[in-house]
């Protein structure tokens, strides 16, 4: 089932998410719904807060980028309770990012190119890996969602100012989306 996406301005996107355990009710169904929602919205990653669940769960599918980044072929990951450490010694790379919760806004974000990640997959198998390149960027973007952060928090005040009207329109429900959304504050018309 495709779920509505919580968009910029909703306070749930600003909460620090909670870890879950194996007894979390409806986990498999939620993962399936997140996959369907992400594909229906042409995303490459989705974090549970974006569908209104304040838990530490991420789904990533970057296979669609394999033409540009061959190492991403068939790369699909469910991340449960991920613990991310940025390798501060790795080079930084600046690239454009966007977000299902902040549609129509695309801005350059500078991030480190290597991270260390520990997580559980959907079968509760533990993984511990160094991740580099574009995937490291996607993981950092999605991980930010679990910490109550958005990619626009990384851009300069001037760039944010230039997007002010777009952001206000999203937050007040004036933006037209081609997918279902949850807007916190309805605009007065
Ligand atoms: Ni996002």
The CA distance from 160 to 7, in Å, is: 16
Q: How far is the CA of 177 from the centre of ligand 1 (A)?
A: 15
- Active-site residue, selected from the candidate residues 25, 67, 96, 142: 142
Q: How far is the CA of 67 from the centre of ligand 1 (A)?
A: 22
What pLDDT is stored for residue 188 in this prediction?
53
Report how many domains make up the chain. Answer: 1
Q: How far is the CA of 16 from the centre of ligand 1 (A)?
A: 15
10-residue mean pLDDT series, the chain (189 residues): 97 98 97 97 96 98 95 97 98 98 96 98 98 98 98 96 96 92 74
Question: Distances in Å between the alpha carbon of 152 and those of 42, 48, 97, 155, 171?
Answer: 20, 18, 9, 5, 14
CA dihedral of residues 98, 118, 78, 110 (deg, nearest 10): 10
What pLDDT is stored for residue 185 in this prediction?
75
Is 142 among the residues known to form the active site? yes
Q: How far is the CA of 100 from the centre of ligand 1 (A)?
A: 6
Residue 189 belongs to a domain: no
> What range defines the domain where residue 133 resides?
5-182
Q: 51: domain CATH number?
A: 3.90.45.10
Residue 188 belongs to a domain: no
How many other CB atoms are found less than 10 A from the CB of residue 61? Answer: 20
Distance of CA 188 to the CA centre of its chain: 29
The CA distance from 187 to 179, in Å, is: 18
Residue 187 belongs to a domain: no
What pLDDT is stored for residue 186 in this prediction?
59
Of 153, 111, 114, 112, which Cα lies nearest the Cα of 132?
114
The CA distance from 57 to 8, in Å, is: 19
What pLDDT is stored for residue 114 in this prediction?
98
Residue 51 belongs to a domain: yes
Q: How far is the CA of 85 from the centre of ligand 1 (A)?
A: 19
Of 139, 23, 21, which Cα lies nearest the Cα of 86?
139
């Amino acid at each position: 089932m495709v779920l509505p996406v919580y968009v910029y301005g909703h306070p749930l996107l600003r909460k620090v998410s909670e870890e879950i355990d194996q007894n979390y009710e409806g986990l498999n169904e939620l993962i399936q719904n997140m996959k369907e929602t992400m594909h229906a919205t042409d995303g490459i990653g989705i974090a549970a807060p974006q569908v209104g669940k304040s838990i530490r769960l991420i789904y990533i599918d970057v296979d669609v980028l394999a033409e540009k980044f061959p190492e991403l072929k068939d790369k699909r990951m469910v991340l449960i309770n991920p613990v991310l450490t940025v390798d501060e010694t790795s080079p930084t790379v600046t690239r454009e990012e966007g977000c299902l919760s902040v549609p129509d806004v695309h801005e350059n974000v500078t991030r480190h190119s290597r991270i260390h990640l520990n997580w559980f997959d959907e079968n509760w198998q533990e993984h511990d890996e160094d991740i580099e390149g574009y995937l490291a960027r996607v993981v950092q973007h999605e991980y930010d969602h679990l910490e109550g952060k958005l990619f626009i928090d990384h851009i300069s005040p001037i760039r944010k100012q230039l997007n002010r009207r777009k952001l206000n329109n999203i937050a007040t429900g004036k933006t037209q989306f081609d997918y279902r959304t949850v807007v916190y504050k309805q605009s007065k018309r």
